[in-house]
Structure 1
Amino acid sequence: MRSIFDKSAPPKDLYYSAKQWIHTCFDNPEELQPFYKECPIENIPFQPIFRKQKMGWPQLVKPRPHYIVIMPKGRVWGGNGAVVSPDNKLIWDASHEIMRKPREHSIFSQSKLPPVTFIPENLAVLTHMEGYSYYFWMFDVLARIELLRRNGIQSDRYVLASMTRAFQEETLMKLGVSREKRIICDNLTHIQGLELIVTPLVADTGMTPKWACDFLREEFLQKTGIKPSQDFKRIYISRADAKRRHVKNEQEVMGFLKNNGFACLLLDGLSVAEQAQIFFSAEMIIAPHGAALTNLVFSKPGTKVIELFSPRWVRHTYWWISQHGDLDYDRLVCGGPILPITPSAPLPEILHALEADITVDMRKLKKKLRSAGIS
């Protein structure tokens, strides 16, 4: 595809998906076939989470479909790794910026893009603006490596957003993605590949597919040969070192739990292997809603889970993972009835809900523990 525009000029329009772009380019299914692959949706029965209580965020009825697009002469721009089509339009579902609407993407506010560098290789785009978050890294970056593998798609190198966390390096090396196979985006990035391999995010809706859970468990638990430890049968995961969503009465919570045989832990700084062992060892897990619960993929079937929420931010993310792993999941919404918030709410309201602290109702927590056979 020959360019007929100035590559320093930022896009002025977008495709909502790479799928929309590919169907715009090809009408004939036979012509489309080398550039597009639809991935089958897992047939997972959907059941309401709690019939009498609403979640605080809309739920999808089923996971959305995954697909893979081969984009000749596609481009990647900026530190977040936005994908730009050969006809100079943003591909939103491969470039989305959290808390922004599609036409608010930062690329549209640029007056000029950096000079483009052509790379004569097939580049798989695995960028995510919050790839530093453990959940998004495991389920929306690493899972896309597996999605390509499962569908027989090979790439010369992988395009990734900034890597600042030890778990990023640990997991890529475990998967055989050496530093030589990576292109790391920064604010001056503007590259054009011989072909871009583009797929939308896997689990940003919170509905993680079962195959992604199985993949993480196999690669980082089973292949590693991790053994359970007697030190972590009952665990409480603290968010004291997080920037938001703290448990305000955590000292009271931890004092009570320690008296009932719980280890109270901070996970930041631990390797993925260490976190996998902790969750694989646990018979009961209590934790406030947060990325540490990504590690539920490593838990044994039947493990009891109590997730703590503020009424402002109640999500289905880790319930969904628990269903895939046959875990005994429960939740405790603290501080009153759920106050639903939707994606269409004003941004300050969403951020306030996202960051809201949690005050645990000790009476309700003790009741749930008694129900689980713990006094």
Structure 2
Amino acid sequence: MIDPPIGYYSRTVDFLSTYKDETTPALYKRLPIQRTVMNTKPKGVETINWHYHPRIPRQFVASIPWGRVWGSNGSVITPDNKLLWDVSFEYNLTPKTHSIFKQKELSPITYTLETLAVITFQVSFNYFHWMFDVLPRLELLRKSGIAYDRIVINRGKYYHKEYCEFQDESLKLLGISKEMIIECQPDTHILAKQLIVSSMAGYSAHVPKNVCQFLRNEFLAKVKVRNESKNKRIFISREDALHRKVLNEKEVFAVLEKYGFKMVKLSTLSFVEKIELFNQAEVIVSPHGAGLTNLIFCNPGTKVVELFTPTYLLPCFHIISNHMELDYYGLIGEVVPRDAHRSNHKDPIVIDIDKLKKTIKLAELK
């Protein structure tokens, strides 16, 4: 029987400060942080008071001698049998309530003499988080100069192949073969001679500029964008999403259609098709959601109108628009009845049509 960890380190650097084995040395590299400079405020018919004011976390890459990777989330355990929280955190939990401490025993260990780079993330099934919290860590690894043999990924709790093909598509474009990948499963428990772990490249609501540039440069260099799209003005529908739908979408699109907009459901497009769509768009109107991750592929000057529920106002796509030099507008929807069984970030959106028309006029759409 293999017992769960006996405690945790809040930070990787805390573990390294206690590690004394000189026969297999550990390594910790701090990476420079690119400060965000906001050049513009969001435009719109009313002021947006963001609900979240994020800071960029410390960026680092570290090697953990004889570290372990456990479970479907790819949690990291140190050689003195403690959880590394900052590279294994779980949303809405504390270190003490991490799922690993709820286990009676852990699955048997598989040993490897390889050096494994861990880029796992609890919600990697989500397009936004895969793009901004998983893939950029490959760039952190590159910058660190630390060599590794294979990469450890996870698919995420709500992974469905038909909705998450972007994972394999993006890895393939980045030149990472299937042979290079170890995929976490519920019974995963790997002990490696060296584990390479890294911080997040940013926080969910604050993506640094260099992360946006890395993703844009990497993928646009590998995708030959066809100049054939007639969809220069697009409205992103979340009608097929589980939450944050625009309840009066028909009325909203009836207005936009008069200005030459086409409605698009991003779930029907491949990863490459999403890149092409946003790269050729001139105007994008969309409810707040992961689909706006693709703003990194837009060209400077593209107009963006983001639709919000008033209970969930995150600045992430305004920040990304600032990095990409896009012309950003925000439109806050109406208050909807509260539901005790629904968290704020899942609230639906209802758009005041008069405010929509005023926003269109403000954006000088003809």
- Shared topology, TM-score over 0.5? yes
Alignment match, 2:301: 302
Alignment match, 2:80: 87
**Once the two structures are superposed, what CA deviation does each residue of 1:158-190 show, in whole Å capped at 9, x if it has no partner?**
111126321111111111211111111111011
**Once the two structures are superposed, what CA deviation does each residue of 1:12-43 show, in whole Å capped at 9, x if it has no partner?**
3111121221123269xx99996010000113
Structure 1's unaligned 5+ residue stretches are 1-5, 340-347
Alignment match, 1:19: 13
Alignment match, 2:51: 56
Tell whether the 8 Å contact from 1:231 to 1:263 is kept in structure 2 after alignment: no
Distance 1:26 1:310, change over 3 A: farther
Task: Give, in angstroms, the shift of residue 319 of structure 1.
Answer: 1.0
Tell whether the 8 Å contact from 1:229 to 1:277 is kept in structure 2 after alignment: no
Structure 2's unaligned 5+ residue stretches are none
Alignment of 1:249-328 (within 5 A): 249-328=248-327
Alignment match, 2:67: 74
Structure 1 distance, partners of 2:268, 2:240, is 11
CA RMSD of aligned residues (A): 2.5
| Letter matched to residue 13 of structure 2 | K
Structure 1 distance, partners of 2:107, 2:203, is 29
Alignment match, 1:365: 356
| Letter matched to residue 91 of structure 1 | L
Task: Calculate percent identity across the aligned residue pairs.
Answer: 40
Does residue 1:128 correspond to 2:121, yes or no? yes
| Letter matched to residue 121 of structure 1 | E
Alignment of 1:104-253 (within 5 A): 104-162=97-155, 164=161, 165-253=164-252
Question: TM-score w.r.t. structure 1 length?
Answer: 0.89
Distance 1:207 1:228, change over 3 A: farther
Does residue 1:334 correspond to 2:326, yes or no? no
Q: Which has the higher contact order (CA 8 A, sep 6+)?
A: 2
**Once the two structures are superposed, what CA deviation does each residue of 1:299-348 show, in whole Å capped at 9, x if it has no partner?**
011111111110111101111111110111111111159x9xxxxxxxx9
Distance 1:365 1:31, change over 3 A: farther
Distance 1:230 1:117, change over 3 A: closer
Tell whether the 8 Å contact from 1:38 to 1:67 is kept in structure 2 after alignment: yes
Tell whether the 8 Å contact from 1:22 to 1:32 is kept in structure 2 after alignment: no
Tell whether the 8 Å contact from 1:77 to 1:189 is kept in structure 2 after alignment: yes
Structure 2 distance, partners of 1:47, 1:89, is 43
Tell whether the 8 Å contact from 1:308 to 1:331 is kept in structure 2 after alignment: yes
Task: Give, in angstroms, the shift of residue 54 of structure 1.
Answer: 1.9
* Secondary structure of the corresponding residue to residue 285 of structure 1: strand
| Letter matched to residue 51 of structure 2 | G
Question: TM-score w.r.t. structure 2 length?
Answer: 0.91
Task: Give, in angstroms, the shift of residue 205 of structure 1.
Answer: 3.2
Structure 2 distance, partners of 1:24, 1:71, is 12
* Secondary structure of the corresponding residue to residue 231 of structure 1: coil
Name which of structure 1's ranges 219-228 and 68-77 shifts more when overlaid on structure 2: 219-228
Q: How many residues align?
A: 356
| Letter matched to residue 13 of structure 1 | G
Task: Give, in angstroms, the shift of residue 52 of structure 1.
Answer: 5.2
* Secondary structure of the corresponding residue to residue 63 of structure 1: coil
| Letter matched to residue 219 of structure 1 | E
Structure 2 distance, partners of 1:141, 1:26, is 30
Name which of structure 1's ranges 252-261 and 357-366 shifts more when overlaid on structure 2: 252-261
Structure 2 distance, partners of 1:335, 1:154, is 52
